[in-house]
Amino acid sequence: MISAQAVKELRDKTGAGMMDCKKALTQAEGDIEKAIDILRERGLASAAKKSGRVASEGVIATFVTEDMKNAAMIELNCETDFVSSNAEFISLANGIAKIVAENNVASIDDVKVLPYEGATVQDAVTNLIAKLGENMNLRRYEKMEAPEGLVSSYIHMGGKIGVLVQVKSENVNDEVATVARDVAMHVAALNPQFLDNTSVDADTIEREKEIYRVQALNEGKPEKIVEKMVEGRINKFFKEVCLVNQMFVKNPDLSIQAFVNQEAKKLGNIELVKFARFEKGEGIEKEEVDFAAEVAAQMGLNK
């Protein structure tokens, strides 16, 4: 039996209609990932799987050391937007990002036991929970080190989205940092999934190819031209999901790679190394009993 909650999850991830989601889940025997592929093959879902709708509150915070060689980004969650805008909550998030940037850590558990204002990071979170009366969770972090360049950061909408971008360059200065920050702003806006074509794993490429094959055959295209169509669509996929191939949001006449190359002619070699993007609450969903009940009522499902 396909549950209403499963239908809702698939609908949130694909934007497809409820009945289409139910049919896809039934065909996939309840497997969400397979159901997404089925919907895509039928042209009923977007070209790339969307993250679950944001259903938690909190803030993304970043910190870059003065020498621009070390940086960190963290996500600190809470229950309500009221607390997420609280000055003490924001100060704690910024403080945690700073201490992560300045220390060596290998896991979120390492972050939680770092010394912080006479205690530990986890103690600080626990104490603020007691003070503000709302549950909080230090969910994740990203640490970047740039021995041959620098790291720059960008925070969007007061902590809703955070980005770190690392570049390799013989020059570590404000001008190069500005280039990296412009790229970070682009990442915040367009959410690329990979740095470049070589960063896309083989499983993802083969999955995309198989979906495009089915799409082409469903469109009635002759098998002899299907492979050419698949290659064309894969190239389009690379342009959509790889950072260096995307058209720069501040100047759509240039790709990101062309923009970086343009700036490198003035500032010296600049090479994009890696990026990380956090969006507040992505992949976390609060329970929405009323909506699930509404879906069940419409579709005659048992939860």
Asked whether residue 135 falls in the same domain as residue 104, the answer is yes
Residues 122-147, mean pLDDT to the nearest whole number: 92
Q: Is 137 among the domain residues?
A: yes
Q: Is 203 among the domain residues?
A: no
Asked whether residue 22 falls in the same domain as residue 150, the answer is no
Residues 270-282, mean pLDDT to the nearest whole number: 96
What is the structure's pLDDT at 295? Answer: 52
Q: Is 210 among the domain residues?
A: no
Asked whether residue 12 falls in the same domain as residue 91, the answer is no
Q: Is the pLDDT of residue 303 over 50?
A: no
What is the structure's pLDDT at 189? Answer: 96
- Residue 265 sits in a domain whose CATH number is 3.30.479.20
Q: What is the dihedral of CA 232, 235, 237, 243, to 10 degrees?
A: -160
Asked whether residue 66 falls in the same domain as residue 125, the answer is yes
Asked whether residue 125 falls in the same domain as residue 271, the answer is yes
Asked whether residue 23 falls in the same domain as residue 49, the answer is yes
Q: Is the pLDDT of residue 291 over 60?
A: no
Q: Is 243 among the domain residues?
A: no
Asked whether residue 45 falls in the same domain as residue 65, the answer is no
Q: Longest Cα pair distance anywhere in the chain, in angstroms?
A: 70
* Highest-confidence segment of 51-55, 167-171, 221-225: 167-171
Asked whether residue 161 falls in the same domain as residue 47, the answer is no
71-94: pLDDT as tens digits: 999 999 998 889 999 999 999 999
- Residue 41 sits in a domain whose CATH number is 1.10.8.10
Q: Is the pLDDT of residue 21 over 60?
A: yes
Q: Is 202 among the domain residues?
A: no
Mean pLDDT in the chain?
88
Q: Is 105 among the domain residues?
A: yes
How distant, in Å, are the alpha carbons of 97, 128, 135, 180, 286 from that of 283? 21, 25, 18, 27, 10
Confidence of residue 242 (pLDDT cuts 50, 70, 90): very high
Asked whether residue 80 falls in the same domain as residue 30, the answer is no
Asked whether residue 152 falls in the same domain as residue 270, the answer is yes
Alpha helices for 133-173 (secondary structure H): none
29-74: pLDDT as tens digits: 999 889 888 887 877 665 344 333 333 799 999 999 999 999 999 9
Q: Is 144 among the domain residues?
A: yes
Residues 222-227, mean pLDDT to the nearest whole number: 86
Domain span holding position 182? 57-195+250-279
Higher pLDDT, 292 or 214: 214
Distance CA 33, CA 38 (A): 9
E strand intervals along 210-249:
none
For residue 149, with 0-12 CB atoms within 10 Å meaning exposed, 13-18 middle and 19 or more buried, which class applies?
buried
Asked whether residue 45 falls in the same domain as residue 112, the answer is no
Q: Is 244 among the domain residues?
A: no
Asked whether residue 159 falls in the same domain as residue 300, the answer is no
Distance CA 236, CA 63 (A): 35
What's the number of domains the chain is made of? 2
What is the structure's pLDDT at 109? Answer: 95
Sign of the C-alpha dihedral computed for residues 47, 49, 53 and 56 taken in this order: negative
Confidence of residue 285 (pLDDT cuts 50, 70, 90): low
